[in-house]
């Protein structure tokens, strides 16, 4: 099985209350590898759910649908990101806001877990390292501001090839070694039987 299909298969079968997906502003789930995969697995009903909420998405707005035929989760959160800009500040601001809002909404709905793919690193051309840092910062910000949140596990589903660009901080290691009351972040590397750290990066 091709690595991308393996990633989709893993994401759709991974047990999390929410899985997250990025879509274009036109809400067409037939565009984009992850969106296509979700549409195929969940069924056409989620496209109708998207279209009933708005005609065009605003960057960073969270659009919630049911999980359709995907049995491993309870809901799918969709959102649109802009293309990477030279300075990157606007793009990263939208990304961080979207991740934070996904966590906030999951908590408001009393969900316990959420799974994010690596967002924007394909056709939108976001640099992987900046994406990893921005997503981590958003989770850290949320967990600090919401220590009693129902969200206890945040999972990033990554390609093995992405592992060496994910920086490891003392905070990440702390969250792995201590089950705090706030959200615990787990980086799950596709195809890896265990998580290892070498030269301050996940391998």
pLDDT digits (tens, 9 = 90+) for 120-134: 888 888 887 788 788
What percent of the chain has pLDDT above 70?
A: 70
Cβ neighbours, 10 Å, residue 35? 20
| Mean pLDDT on 37-43 | 87
* Burial track 91-116 (b if 16+ CB lie within 10 A, e otherwise): bbebbbbbbbbbbbbbbeeebbbbbb
Q: Does the pTM of the predicted model rise above 0.85? A: no
Between CA 12 and CA 179 the distance in angstroms is 26
Rounded mean pLDDT, 21-30: 91
* Residue that is written with structure tokens 């994010």 in the block: 116
Query: Domain extents for the chain?
Result: 3-202
pLDDT score recorded for residue 199: 41
Residue-averaged pLDDT of the chain: 76
pLDDT computed for residue 192 by the predictor: 35
**C-beta atoms surrounding 55 within 10 Å:** 9
The yes-or-no verdict on residue 35 having pLDDT over 50 is: yes
Written out in words, the top-level CATH class of the domain with range 3-202 is alpha beta
Banded model confidence at residue 55, pLDDT cuts 50, 70, 90: confident
């Amino acid at each position: 099985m091709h690595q991308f299909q393996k990633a989709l298969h893993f994401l759709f079968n991974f047990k999390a209350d929410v899985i997250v997906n990025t879509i274009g502003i036109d809400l067409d789930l037939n565009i984009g590898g992850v969106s296509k995969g979700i549409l195929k697995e969940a069924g056409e009903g989620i496209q109708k759910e998207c279209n009933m909420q708005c005609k065009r998405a605003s960057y960073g707005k969270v659009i919630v649908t049911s999980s359709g035929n995907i049995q491993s989760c309870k809901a799918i959160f969709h959102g649109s990101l802009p293309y990477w800009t030279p300075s990157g500040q606007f793009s990263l601001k939208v990304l961080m806001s979207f991740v934070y809002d996904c966590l906030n909404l999951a908590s408001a709905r009393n969900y316990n877990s959420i799974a994010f793919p690596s967002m924007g690193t394909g056709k939108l051309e976001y640099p992987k390292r900046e994406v990893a840092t921005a997503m981590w910062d958003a989770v850290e910000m949320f967990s600090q501001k919401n220590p009693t949140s129902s969200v206890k596990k945040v999972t990033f589903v990554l390609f093995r090839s992405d592992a060496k660009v994910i920086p490891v901080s003392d905070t990440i290691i702390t969250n792995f070694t201590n089950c705090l009351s706030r959200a615990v972040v787990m980086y799950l590397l596709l195809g890896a039987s265990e998580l290892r750290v070498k030269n301050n990066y996940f391998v």
